[in-house]
Structure 1
Amino acid sequence: MGTPSVGYSAISSYSRVEILHLIQVEARQTVAGLAAATALHPNTVREHLERLLEAGHIVRETEHRTTRGRPRVLYSAATGEAEASSPIARRKARAAAERGDIMRRVMPWTGTSVRELGTESTHQLDAIADHLSESGFDPLINERDLTIDLTPCPHATAQSAHRETLCSVHLGIMRGVLAEARGPLVVEGMRPSCDPTHCVVQLATA
């Protein structure tokens, strides 16, 4: 339901992975704070933040101040919740659902998930499949067991030293994608047997 993009999407750069990880861990981050934490120039941080915003991975807000001074711009992860919902992520989820519905009309045998899981869950799987394909994965979704095989991981070798951070960021993004798609499915976690070359994400019904 998607074509892997050249350059590994918005998180092709480990600097962006690191920035997104910091934002996922603690909401309402500032450019100055992120620059200090990553040792990057503030202008570089701003460029990375724009890429993450354009991908729908984060949202921004302007600080409400009751004292003098320019209000800060605050960045949070797109979690799908009312105060942290990305219109870009919602639009991408709707587009994925529309493409999935067209595919199921043209190839009815691919629509068993609608009968078994329901429309909302099926549309969530459309959204997560699109996101993972765009991110450079070749996801294999098992609709019966609610698992996603992420083999091969595009970062398994090149950034093996940062595997824990990478996995955490990917899980955070996937949780946001499912939430923005609006349905009962959530990310439960990665199976304990995961290793750098074979990783399986377990979904569940909330």
Structure 2
Amino acid sequence: MPRRVEDFRGLTQLSRLRLLHAVHAEPGRRLPELAREAGLHVNTAREHLHVLEDEGFVVSRAVATGTRGRPPVVYDPVRSSDENPNAERRLKQSLHRGDMLRRIRPTLDLSADLNDAAQHQVDALYAHLDEVGLEPHFDPQSLQIEVRPCRYHELINEHGEVVCSVHGRLVRQQLEQVPGPLRIVEVLPFVTPHACRVTLASGGRTDEAEEHTWIPTRPRHSRTGAAIIAEDEASPSA
């Protein structure tokens, strides 16, 4: 049975993508600031942030001010699964599902290419991409994940910076929630007109440039369909 639009963890709505982009850009901001940046009414932004928190993408926390009254609430991206119970639940489910599928279908066991920790990292990343509707296809030899077709393709022309930046950061955050040797080298939008690619690597960084995950902010295509990448400006949250 096809999934409903709302089943993709709430990320098919541009308003929520804008809010999540604002949280990623400057963690620790209050609701009115985030609503203003996303161009939303405060009440609408509050509802969307509740959805994003329920889906394990953001975490809210009260900030002590030393004054009377209810302390203000700020929002941060979820970088560790133990920051958000729903993120932790989803992560445990993805790891359990991966182990179970390998027992049922030994052909899915990638131990010839990856150790147990790396397989669990792939389990978490694969589950995330599938849940947000990006249909991942993993090649263990090249350590590349191709996602096709892009469910957000219609938003790219006008809102590519928001859409690609949000998904690029989420991919990195999901991988980092599981201890293991894999890291993200690059996220390329539209290596074909309808597919994007995530390239992983195993082991420690060997190049200073790899200390940043380059997340595309203005995806475009040449006449041959090759992606032209605009490097993401490095920021503390990148």
- The normalised TM-score by structure 1 is 0.88
Q: Summarize the Cα distance change of 1:86–1:64 in structure 2 as closer, same or farther, 3 Å threshold.
A: same
Greater relative CO (CA pairs within 8 A, separation 6+): 1
Structure 2 partner of 1:176? 173
Shift of 1:193: 6.7
Correspondence for 1:149:
146
Using the alignment, how far apart are the partners of 1:192 and 1:132 within structure 2? 14
Aligned to 1:129: 126
1:167 aligns with 2:186: no
Q: Between Structure 1 and Structure 2, how many residues are aligned? A: 201
Secondary structure of the corresponding residue to residue 103 of structure 2: helix
Equivalent in the alignment of 1:93: 91
Gaps of 5+ in 2: 205-238
Give the C-alpha shift of residue 143 in structure 1: 1.4
Q: Structure 1 residues 186 and 174 mapped into 2: Cα distance closer, same or farther (>3 Å)?
A: same
Indicate the SS of the match to 1:121.
helix
More helix per residue: 1
- 2:164 partner letter: C
Alignment of 1:8-157 (within 5 A): 8-80=8-80, 85-111=83-109, 113-157=110-154
Superposition RMSD in Å: 2.1
- Which residue identity does 2:49 align to in structure 1? L
After TM superposition, give the deviation of residue 9 of structure 1 in Å: 2.4
SS of equivalent to 2:186: strand
**Contact 2:189/2:195 (8 A) holds in 1:** no
The answer on whether the counterparts of 2:22 and 2:38 sit within 8 Å (CA) in structure 1 is no
Residue 220 of structure 2 corresponds to which residue in structure 1?
A: none
Q: Percent identity?
A: 33
Partner of 1:194: helix, strand, or coil?
strand
Q: CA offsets, 1:113-141, max 9 Å, x none?
A: 23422111111111111111111111101
